[in-house]
Amino acid sequence: MSFGRADGKLWFRALIGFVCSAVVALVLLLILAGVATFAGANKTAVKAFAVAINVIAAGAAAYVIADGKRALLNGVISGIVAFLGVFVVFLIFGGLKSFSDYLLDFLFTVVFALIFSIIFVNFKKAHDNC
């Protein structure tokens, strides 16, 4: 599938990463709602699942943005993009939280996106050499 001149551009991969992380967050949030409805999940389980949503969205964005080079730059960009995607979904369905909660979510998402980006960049480098 070709997108013309946008192929390989960082801004295009960031846009796709944003959409991907938002879709992942939306799907996992719907799963959380179903689990909480039927199983009666407590507040701690919901917070743990929210952290898992951030981690999975960071991994999805890092996979889309990683291109085989510049792991740290790609990691920071994918962390920001994943946080924004999850933020939009949580803002629509959950309302506003405190600034400290957003800051903690942002730092957590960026750290995991950096880790995932380093893994995926090395993975793509290894497969490019085969």
Q: Per residue in 62-99, is it b (16+ CB within 10 Å) or e — as a string?
A: bbbbbbbeebeebbbbbbbbbbbbbbebbeeeeeeeee
124 pLDDT more than 80? no
Q: Supply the pLDDT for residue 19.
A: 93
Is there a contact between 117 and 75 (Cβ–Cβ < 8 Å)? yes
What confidence score (pLDDT) does residue 5 get?
59
Average pLDDT score over the chain: 83
Q: Please state the separation of Cα 119 from the chain's center in Å.
A: 15
Position 34 scores a pLDDT of 78
What is the per-residue pLDDT across 6-65, written as a single tens digit (0 to 9) for each? 556 888 888 999 999 999 999 988 888 777 777 776 777 777 888 888 899 998 988 888
What does the pLDDT read at residue 1? 47
> Is the pLDDT higher at 26 or at 127?
26
- The answer, yes or no, to whether residue 3 has pLDDT greater than 60, is no
Tell me the percentage of the chain whose pLDDT exceeds 70. Answer: 89
Give the closest residue to 35 by CA, choosing from 44, 24, 45.
45
Section 105-127 average pLDDT: 85
